[in-house]
Structure 1
Amino acid sequence: MSYSFHIQEKREGWPAAISNTEGDEIHTDVAAQYANHFTNSGETYSQRDERRLRWKIDLRLVPLLWFNVTLGSMDKVTTSTAALYNFRQDTGLDGDKYSWVGSAFYFGYLIWCLPSGSLLQKLPLAKVLCMVQLLWGCILISTGFANSFAGLIALRVLLGALEAPIVPGNFLILGRWAIGFLHDDHQWRAMFWITGAMTIAWAVVIGIFLPDNPVQAKFVQPREKAVAIERLRADQTGIENKTFNKKQMMETFADPKTWLMFLFHLTISIPNGGLTNFAALVIKGLGYTSQRSTLLMMPTGVVQTVASYLCNGGVFLCLKYLPNYHTRAAWVLLGILVGLVSTVFLHTLAVDDYSGRLAALYMAYFYFGPYVVSLGINTANTAGHTKKVTTNALVFVSYCVSNIMAPQFFLSSQAPVYPLGIAVILGSYVLSAAFIILYAAYCVYENRRRDRVGDVTAGERVHRNTDFKDLTDKENLHFRYVW
């Protein structure tokens, strides 16, 4: 489809309205006001300017976004650690009620996925994250006062709804910027109070220091904003547009990539749902005390961190030294393979092989590396702001469904080995590998099709007729998928 664009209006800080040859009104990206700075002014910028700006942005954003995710991950597993300290007994979680407390979180997440995506599009992003973190902290503190199954279910549903905007919000931000107190068996309440207070404090930091987008970042000078936007031009994904586009939403539902990524996340998140809620109980079932089990849970976070850095670091190095090769799916498959082999050992090792089972349990957490890389692939392969928001929402719907189902396979009657739950994790690794291979194959097919039918150069950096016009990846023939 060819486009002839006509600027109708331009206001500082807002996208201009444009129309294509078919008469449909399209709203340009918020970055459009800086997109032609260097063309119009005749200025240039050097690699030194880029490096200086990159460090300036990274030093501000990376710590904020890193702690955003860290707090969310920490807060979610408080029930797992609390289960070691009479949490279930004190709140009447007999039978499989504990499994439902684990699932309840993701019912809230599922319900609020799509509405939160709309909020992230319409409202200032950083401010939404700030308010969500404040409420999140209050809910956590309230959980420390809970005494019943019904109360816990309600609080966990609310907590899940509040997490729904956090990870998608972090990725939208990125896309815009390219044990000591646990000595008493009844001290589980303190974990919720402390983590909740930390989250509230962090929300204040987010509200003050995290910018909504490059255009509104006060710590970046106007010329630096133009440099930042120029560096993002080749991605063809845009930065931000507040206008909801129904056609983009419908395109999302018709895109095969959407559903392949949906199925991938439905399967790769099964280990998260199971291990997050039951790993501590599996470790305690090996014969360790509650305090010792809590300490032995610490390496699970280390493994997740290593998996994330290994897979993402591998992608980064390949992009730097092998820029002409697509390697993202390969790193996803490597991470899946590590988790798959580990789960095989966890499923087959003798019950009394404590050291072997513990090591296998740790390495089963390697799912986190492929999960994070896949989120990056999804972001890089989706253009058009409404399409981005809708795609993110669907991906996290699958994440919720997966995490709702996973705890139900860990039957209390099978404690502490949980053979059914471990077998399901094993199967999920196999399926997720198949789905990411199909996703990569579709990207290869689509790129080759565009090379055949298009009259554009795939490696060309500047496309004035489509850059920052809020076109989707389907509408823009200049767009090439990564895999």
Structure 2
Amino acid sequence: MSTHSVRDSVTHSLKEDAEIHIQSVHPTINEKKVTRKIDLRIVPILSILYLMSFLDRGNIGNANIEGLSTDLGLTGPQYNMCLTVFFFTYSVFEVPSNMMLKRLKPSIWLPAIMVAWGIVMTLMGIVQNYGGMLATRIFLGLTEAGLFPGVTYYLTLWYPRRDIQFRTAMFFSAASVAGAFSGLLAFGIGKMDGVGNLEGWRWIFILEGIATTLIAALSFFLVVDFPDTAKFLTDEEREWVLWRLKYDTNSRKTNSASQQAIMVEENDSHSWDEVKKAIMDPQLYPQCLLYSAVLVPLYGVSLFLPTIVKNLGYSSEGAQLMTIPIYAVGAIASIVQAWVSDRYGWRSPLLVFNFCCMFIGYMLAMNVSAVRNPSATYAGCYLVALGLYPGIPAVISWLSNNTAGTYKRGVSMGMQIGFGNLCGAIASQIYRSKDAPQFKLGHGIEVMFICIGFICIFVLNLYYYLVNRNRRRMVAEGKADDLTVTQLSEMGDKSPHFIYSH
């Protein structure tokens, strides 16, 4: 029997064993019903938290076209530096946040950091000079650092691998909704110019900061902790969710002669060895580069899209409104692609499509005159959004699917997101006011990162293919039969029975 046939037989046996186990131990469990109950309790509040997070970090772009730089006397480089310093503290504190989330209650940790950044955002509305804006952006990065990596890791503590990307896309689509909402809010709030002797852009920060703080206060009561303490689940439902997560690994102890599969528990160790495993994992570094390749364009869009659209000949109000449908396309595409990806198990093929969309979009924006053909640049923005917003959850889910061990996964995801956001600082410097309206430098650097993304996808697929081929051969030849279930659990994704997804 071929190695592929062995693997297929084992997988089929595993599915049958799992179904029999569920039916015998949890005969009354309706999987779809329980999953829907978890979705309704988990996803909406996380989406609201992330919506406010992305709204607060990106609204400086909306405030700028309402007069922020003019009123504070900021030069182009000074404004870009205010964008950049956010990423320094934001990146540094992401890995520690993921390490702390498992030790502390999410219902305390996530709302607490949200209260902190809500206060910082409100204070941003009263700064009077470059130094004040710089300081508030530094503290905004520090206080927001824990949310995105924390939430993506938190989802892996509730959902099995096959369900992760759709749920990640559901809450991440809040980023594109935030972009649309930001333009709409800025359009309305900007008309408050002069109220309380304050400029309109100040009210953008003040009102959105107050809203963030109020939502954070409510989230103390709405965010739930872990499945084993979830009061909205029955005892049997909790037991089923915990069992599903406990054995959520494609590593199986398989006897090559009988082809019988025994499920291996997910390693839940919290030792420093798991941190070392994450750091030494060869797949982590191309995954980090791949995330950077999609995140730099993300911040280029979130920070500068209003400015880019305004330079196509629109007024400030018109530019705010014209960004809304672009973000809407991104949100819809993100959810649709995630459903397809989880349904059919596709990761890298859809990522290739995402990067192709971004490549074509930026090439349009860079090479077609924004003065003579502004519609081409505007159309390019739609293509970028079509590839960009679905790409973020796809990259995160790909690493999550291919990393076993809850603590190792948390550290790996924190490093991936932290490195990506550090590279995101590049996006804050490449769109210079003197390059308007074509912004060839900015668009060109985005194209460079997209090309890096193509290379990373190729390298990762080659690595996964070679490793999977060797592991299937070992299993077929019986070289892994002597390993115990405990040893396989400790090996995690380095087990000869663990098959990487493509």
TM over 0.5: yes
1:133 aligns with 2:114: yes
Deviation of 1:470 (Å): 6.6
Find the counterpart in structure 2 of residue 9 from structure 1.
none
Residues in 1 aligned to 2:138 and 2:492: alpha-carbon distance in whole angstroms: 35
- Offset at residue 446 of structure 1 (A): 2.1
> Paired residue for 2:408, among 387, 394, 416?
387
The answer to whether residue 315 in structure 2 is matched with residue 302 in structure 1 is no
Query: 2:367: which partner in 1?
Result: 348
Give me the whole-angstrom Cα distance separating, in 2, the residues matched to 1:357 and 1:380: 36
Distance in 2 (CA, whole Å) between partners of 1:205 and 1:383 is 34
**What's the offset of the Cα at 1:244?**
3.5
Measured after TM superposition, the shift of residue 239 of structure 1 is 7.7
Cα distance in 1, alignment partners of residues 86 and 321 from structure 2? 25
State the distance in 2 between where 1:470 and 1:144 align. 51
Q: How does 1:42-441 map to 2 (within 5 A)?
A: 43-45=25-27, 49-178=30-159, 179=185, 180-183=188-191, 186-236=199-249, 241=268, 244-319=270-345, 327-351=346-370, 352-365=372-385, 366-441=387-462
Amino acid across the alignment from 1:181:
I
Which has the higher mean CA deviation after the structures are superposed, 226-235 or 60-69?
226-235
Deviation per residue, 1:220-257 (Å, 9 max, x gap): 1111111112333442297895x632211112122111
Question: Retained in 1: the 8 A contact 2:107–2:221?
Answer: no
How many residue pairs align between the two structures?
432
Following TM superposition, the consecutive aligned residue runs of length 4 or more in structure 1 with deviations greater than 3 angstroms are 38-44, 237-241, 454-457, 463-467, 469-472, 474-478
- Cα RMSD over matched residues? 2.7
Q: One-letter code of the match for 1:443?
A: Y
After superposition, the Cα gap between the structure-2 partners of 1:232 and 1:340, relative to the gap in structure 1 and judged at 3 Å, is: same
Aligned partner of 2:317: which letter?
Answer: Q
The alpha carbon displacement at 1:100 in A equals 0.9
Which structure is higher in helix share?
2
Identity %: 22
What's the CA shift for 1:41?
12
- Report the TM-score when normalising by structure 2: 0.80
Letter in 2 for 1:340: F
TM normalised by structure 1 equals: 0.83
CA spacing shift, 1:456–1:408, aligned 2, 3 Å: farther
Gaps of 5+ in 1: 1-35, 320-326, 458-462
Taking the aligned partners of 2:209 and 2:272, their CA distance within structure 1 comes to 38
The AA in structure 1 aligned to 2:143 is L
Contact 1:171/1:379 (CA < 8 Å) preserved in 2? Answer: no
How far, CA to CA, are the matches of 1:255 and 1:168 in structure 2?
19
Q: CA deviation at 1:130?
A: 1.1
How far apart are 1:456 and its partner, in Å? 11
Unaligned runs of 5+ in 2: 1-17, 160-184, 194-198, 251-264
2 CA distance for matches of 1:436 and 1:40? 36
> How far apart in 2 are the matches of 1:343 and 1:40?
49
Do the aligned partners of residues 416 and 40 (structure 1) sit closer, same or farther apart at CA in structure 2, a change above 3 Å counting?
closer
C-alpha contact (below 8 Å) 2:78/2:130 kept by paired residues: yes
Distance 2:267 2:466 in 1: 29
Alpha-carbon deviation of 1:311? 2.2
